[in-house]
Amino acid sequence: MTLAELTAAQRVVILIQENHTVDNYFGGLAPWGANVATGWPVLQNPPPKPPFSASYPPHNRQAYFEWLTSGKAEHSQVDTATVLPYYLHLAVSYAFLENHCAGFGTDSTANHMLLVGGQSPTLRNPASGTAPEWDLPSVPGSAGDHGLTWRCYSDDGYPVSFYTQLKASPSVVPLSHLSSDAAAGALPQLMYIWHRSGLDEHPPSDVTAGMNAVWQAVDTIVNAGGWDDTVFMLTWDDWGGFDDHVATPAVEYTPDNVQVAYGARVPLLMFGGRVKPGIDSRWCSHISIPKTALQLLDLPPLGVPRLDDDAGLADLVDTSRQANPQPPAYGTALAPLTPPSPRPAPRPLPPQPSGRPQPVGPVIRRSGAALPPPNDAPLPKQPAPPQ
């Protein structure tokens, strides 16, 4: 069989939640040999108010710079097994990418756009009440251009409303349509899913409620059929201002000589009927997720160098292997998981990606013309680029 035949998928589902690092969420994976911190202060769920709010912990570009240079961040973690048992089950049963990173070291909007199309014209969230728009290529747009069905399930249209090609599409629908689409046998080949505020796990949300919302969405899709040929990728948009003990590689930097890629580690769970289980230690980022969707759906390059040049994660899918069991049905009482014995040692960090860090590149429009590189969150000028 060819590589394309080995990795083909009939459906790709990308679920995007909010604002947590690997250490903040998955300290409970340590008994399985994950490279995660343990013993940090336990984060109350839901977190206390104050000081937690929509902007605390601080997690914008300035906060990321302070984390890079001084380690300043919210230093805490949830009790994974108690607070996030379904996520722990997915991580143990399928693929957990322990060195997956936010695409850019900043907050939400840029990272959501990286997950949709591999680039962002901004490093800031738009001001309240504004609705910027850019005519950029995207994975959903490419799917539609090449005859595949797609849907972006988002109650407020964020972030697909930033894309000229997508903003008025009838394939951008509220998340409530997921159940009716599944019941009608009308689930598309490509699906992006965002949950509304309160269920997106953004502080100060109850993250167990967010996990349950994801569990329901996954269960709806699984019950509609096609588990064996479906690939799910579940990630979190950015670091949320939470600490992580791993310093991530410098791949790109802004004109102030501050690393912008990679951002901090954020979890990535990859699961489905033919996904190879285990802890995967390679360096990857949000760019790898849309690239994997292109690979699995046999779509051509997008025309965005950062994305097109990424290796992707399609090698974790093998249609020749025996199908994995389906995940537990929503609401199932999850039995405690038994770690391996003896306890595996954490894997060493992989080598840094080859090549020297590069200046962040221009943004490519659908026409092929270029916009300037994102530089709307300047920081104190550093004496030299990161090494």
Q: Map out the domains of the chain as residue ranges.
A: 3-371
Q: What is the pLDDT of residues 60-90, one digit of tens each?
A: 999 999 999 999 999 999 999 999 999 999 9
Contacts of 211 (CB under 8 A, 6+ apart): 83, 84, 86, 87, 201
Average pLDDT over residues 293-301: 98
Average pLDDT over residues 127-140: 90
Please give the pLDDT value at position 51.
Answer: 64
Please give the pLDDT value at position 6.
Answer: 55
Residue 53 clears pLDDT 80, i.e. is over it = no
Reported confidence tier of residue 127, pLDDT bands at 50, 70, 90: confident
CA dihedral 160, 161, 162, 164 (to 10 degrees): 100
Q: What is the pLDDT of residues 313-347, one digit of tens each?
A: 999 999 999 999 999 999 999 999 999 999 999 99
Please give the pLDDT value at position 139.
Answer: 98
Calpha distance 186→217 (Å, rounded): 15
Calpha distance 278→347 (Å, rounded): 12
- Architecture category of domain 3-371 in CATH: 3-Layer(aba) Sandwich (3.40)
In the numeric block, which tokens belong to residue 298? 């046999």
pTM over 0.75: yes
Residue 176 clears pLDDT 50, i.e. is over it = yes
